Structure 1
Amino acid sequence: MGTDPLDDIDLNSLRDPAGIFELIEIVGNGTYGQVFKGRHVKTSQLAAIKIMNINEDEEEEIKMEINMLKKYSHHRNIATYYGAFIKKLPSSNGKHDQLWLVMEYCGSGSITDLIKSTKSCSLREDWISYICKEILRGLHHLHNNKVIHRDIKGQNVLLTDNAEVKLVDFGVSAQLDRTVGRRNTFIGTPYWMAPEVIACDENPEA
């Protein structure tokens, strides 16, 4: 048996983001944390910074998300991973230090934002076709690597200023450990789930 890749990440050994990245404003919430618009101090390049408080109950999920981003974000339809940092907080004794996950900034918001901006009007059919095609490209990349996202929804599909479509938030993703792997756990956002996932259908032929 090989070493579990989760064991390779020592969260306490990560660098402090002070002097490297700075926060500008909060832009939303992701699984396990808030997301900020940030900036690289030296280059002024914008970035999305997801900030999470570290606790033992969620440490495995956090490590899983870092692994997913490191391995699979180098694709046109996945927000690029830039790095992870630990913000040491005074008198926390390491128990409530903050993890900063730094990723590509998508300045045009989410698909949910786009739909809301149209008010009572529907999205144009060619826009819908383009967005769906790009989402499927991203999912195809993940599935080829035996990764299931498990929380595809409007808030987790972002647009760059150049109208590129990017999948984000791998906080509940899973790596299938076999070629014919299957996940039956109830994880994700119920409103966006397929009925068979909500039912936790365990029929292997489904």
Structure 2
Amino acid sequence: MYTRMQRKLPRADPPQAPSLPSLYEDTEEEDNNEAPPVVAPEPEQPNSTNTCSGTKSSTALEAAALEAADKDNTPTPEITYMSTSSSSCSSTNEQQKTVEEDSLEKLRSIVSVGDPMKKYVEWEKIASGAFGTVYAATDTATGGEVAIKQVCLQKQLKKERIVDELIVMRDNKHPNIVNYLDSYLVGDKLWIVMEYLDGGSLSAVVKEISMSEGMMAAVSRECLQALAFLHCHQVIHRDLKGDNILLGMDGSVKLADFGLAARITPEQSKRSSVVGTVHWMAPEYLTKEEYGPKVDIWALGITVIEMLEGEPPYFWELPRRAMQLIISKGIPELQSRENLSPALQDFLNRCLQADEDSRWSAEELLQHPFLLSAMPLSGLTTVINAANQLREASRQRKGFGMPSSSSIDGWNSEQN
């Protein structure tokens, strides 16, 4: 384990990777730790032009969308295509309205009845973003700490996605997946109660410290156990990255944020919608009409590179350029590749096969010799503490004073 003292920074600030906004994303520095007020429903937000979409048929439209994202350096959540027919657009809007009504009805059948403000006390805001806020709170029944994600439904353009997230979390319990505990509808807001992990995100750690191969093997094994479980249960995560891997001070490693997860069936074993975060996207995401669960395996390979180098390949490139590089060149040569063990090099090679069929599955990778070098997970505590100390010292040197709770707890995404 060593600190990342110097890294080549070609730009002052990296571009934002195009992913749907994470509700663990900390976009504001606020010290308001009070419990969230119960408020009346917010006015309906204007519809985005992306809500009227058609089929993938125009590469020109795709290029225009990506070029626009590059110009203003903002995320491109999902590549969708406008229909030129007004009647088609009207029909699509009506269909979307029906889907939203059905989604709200499903939500009401899933959530619990009652006042969460009475069940959970000692609220502390730990992260916030454009689409919601995350609080830490104490469960009065158990005395345990929980994380509560508050989602404004009026700001969700596709409410069926939040329903899918709830169902995936509720129906897929696993030691390596953040545990869903409960949910409530309060006004126009959905409150999702989850277990709280106090070690922060993997990305927050690897930005400060380079892990040993043994610790990388341990983290990779835990992630693969989660992926093998999800894929066996016909679920693709679709946004695996360091931000969405949460750590516990007890050595826990858990996959989080199922807002982009997709359910598949034996009849429909492939998906086609382009969602996720560009720098972790597999080539077939960008070049083929359909893809399967192995996009998660590619993303895991990129996450291992993130553990090695502190960031994914092409992180300093704008999104469209990063896409082009992934398609044309694949993954660039790793820094100090000669210092990596043959087992780790082969593990990465198995994860990052450009051909989806040649890429190993999660079950196959769990048998890879690299994982035999895994250190005890208890060693994560030392790594997390060291990263937190370095982050605090860096902030002190820059004159920011003590870090806020959101920067420590890791329920945020400081950089995509």
Whether these two folds match at TM > 0.5 is yes
> Post-superposition shift, 1:32?
4.3
The one-letter code sitting in structure 1 at the alignment partner of 2:289 is E
The structural deviation recorded for 1:194 is 1.6
Q: Does 1:114 align with 2:205?
A: yes
Counterpart CA distance in 1 for 2:111 and 2:243 is 31
In structure 1, the gaps of 5 or more residues are: 89-96
Match of 2:175 in 1: 76
- CA deviations on 1:160-196 (whole Å, 9 max, x unpaired) are 1211110010011010033561011111111221222
Output the CA distance in 1 between the equivalents of 2:290 and 2:207.
38
Per-residue deviation, 1:40:
1.1
Q: Which has the higher contact order (CA 8 A, sep 6+)?
A: 2
Shift of 1:200: 4.7
> What is the TM-score when the length of structure 2 is the normalising length?
0.42
Aligned counterpart, 1:92: none
Alignment equivalent of 2:117, drawn from 1, 9, 18: 18
Aligned to 1:91: none
Structure whose residues are more often strand by fraction: 1
1:59 alignment counterpart:
159
The residue matched to 1:49 in structure 2 has which SS? Answer: strand
Q: How far does the alpha carbon of each residue in 1:123-161 deviate from its partner, in whole angstroms, 9 at most, with x for none?
A: 111110000010000000000000000000111001112
- CA 1:117/1:142 → structure 2, altered by over 3 Å: closer, same or farther? same
Give the direction of change, closer, same or farther, for the CA distance of 1:32–1:152 in structure 2 (3 Å limit).
Answer: farther
Residues 152, 189 of structure 2: 8 Å contact kept: yes
1:202 maps to what in 2? 289
1:45 alignment partner, one of 144, 165, 189: 144
1:17/1:86 contact within 8 Å kept: no
For 2:150, the aligned partner's letter is I
Note closer, same or farther for the CA distance 1:78–1:179 as it changes in structure 2 (3 Å cut).
Answer: farther
1:143 partnered with 2:241 = no
1:93 alignment partner in structure 2: none
Contact 1:12 1:86 in 2 (8 A): no
Shift of 1:18: 1.7
Q: 1:71 is aligned with what amino acid?
A: D
Q: Indicate yes or no: 2:236 matched with 1:129.
A: no
Question: What percent identity do the matched residue pairs reach?
Answer: 32
Cα distance in structure 1, aligned partners of 2:110 and 2:232: 32
Name the amino acid aligned to 1:66.
Answer: L
Distance 1:60 1:203 in 2: 21
- 1:98 aligned to 2:185? no
Stretch moving more, 186-195 or 12-21: 12-21
* Secondary structure of 1:186 counterpart: coil
Does residue 172 of structure 2 align to residue 85 of structure 1? no
Letter in 2 for 1:164: S
| Corresponding letter in the other structure for 2:257 | D
Structure 2 counterpart SS, 1:84: strand
Q: Which amino acid aligns with 1:40?
A: D
Give the Cα–Cα distance (whole angstroms) in 2 for the partners of residues 173 and 31 of structure 1. Answer: 20
Residue 42 of structure 1: CA displacement?
Answer: 3.6
User: Rg: which structure is higher?
Assistant: 2
Give the TM-score normalised by the residue count of structure 1: 0.81
| Counterpart Cα distance in 1 of 2:190 and 2:240 | 23
Query: Residue 185 of structure 1 contacts residue 200 of structure 1 at CA under 8 Å; is this kept in 2?
Result: no
In the alignment, the residues of structure 1 paired with residue 112 and residue 199 of structure 2 have an alpha-carbon distance, to the nearest angstrom, of 30
Equivalent in 259, 262, 268 of residue 174 of structure 1: 262
Distance 1:53 1:203, change over 3 A: closer
Query: 1:31/1:125 Cα in 2 relative to 1: closer, same or farther (>3 Å)?
Result: farther
3-state SS of 2:157 partner = helix
Q: Aligned partners of 2:290, 2:162: CA distance in 1, in Å?
A: 30
In structure 2, how many angstroms separate the alpha carbons of the residues matched to 1:168 and 1:47?
14
1:200–1:66 CA distance, 2 compared to 1 (3 A): farther
Q: Which runs of 5+ in 2 are unaligned?
A: 1-101, 292-354, 357-416
- Partner Cα distance (1:12, 1:176) in 2: 21
